[in-house]
Homo-oligomer: A and B are copies of this chain.
């Protein structure tokens, strides 16, 4: 009845080292730790990630070799983020799409659509405190004021903020995961001024619907917003 393959899927995505690299890359690419900022100290970070310092250090070393981090010793040292999102070019997008399997891409887009729409709905159906409204408003204002170098990071922060405000860490994690899976593709999409203005209007609509407590409108707003990029990416599949 229930497809066993849905539940009897691999228990682990890889070894601890690989998963740690992925997670740190997630933190960097999503902008949880921005360029010039540093990761928490190794001992603290290892505890957060639930792994040993040895394994964490291997992962940090790999990211250092790959040019994402600059590690400095001594007091006030640490692992500083050097990564800055590459400027998009049309070739980069095509390459990014073909790097990912088309099946995986479709899977990720569907997943993202479902969880982000779901999060917006749930949030719209929730009674928000003044502080929560202020947080969301702030994220939107920051995004609207963003320069080209910051746009992706603040866009991600805005979207994840919606999920985090639902109060469900499971949901927030799912949205972060979904966003990471399409993150490289989003970074490869050239940002035209028209698109940014269009996106800004849609972001405004999302917040308005959430503040109005209208789950249907919130869902529609997020859906339309995501459908734009999804359609663009899907165009590369044919």
Residue numbers of A with Cβ under 8 A of B are 1-12, 16, 19-20, 23, 26-27, 30-34, 40, 45, 48-51, 106-108, 110-111, 113-119, 121-122, 125, 139, 142, 153-154, 156-157, 160, 164, 166-174, 176-178, 181, 215-216, 219-220, 223
Q: A31 contacts which chain B residues (CB < 8 A)?
A: 1-2
Chain B residue, CB-CB nearest to A44 = B8
Chain B residue, CB-CB nearest to A117 = B118
Q: A169 contacts which chain B residues (CB < 8 A)?
A: 6, 9, 107
State the CA gap A30–B4 with chains docked (Å).
Answer: 10
Q: Which of B1, B8, B32 contacts A154 (CB 8 A)?
A: B1
One complex includes copies of this chain to the number of 2
Q: List 24 A-B contacts (CB under 8 A).
A: A1-B32, A2-B153, A6-B160, A7-B23, A7-B30, A8-B40, A10-B50, A11-B49, A12-B50, A107-B169, A107-B170, A110-B168, A113-B118, A114-B115, A114-B121, A114-B168, A115-B115, A115-B171, A117-B118, A118-B118, A121-B223, A215-B219, A215-B223, A216-B216
Q: A4 contacts which chain B residues (CB < 8 A)?
A: 27, 32-33, 40
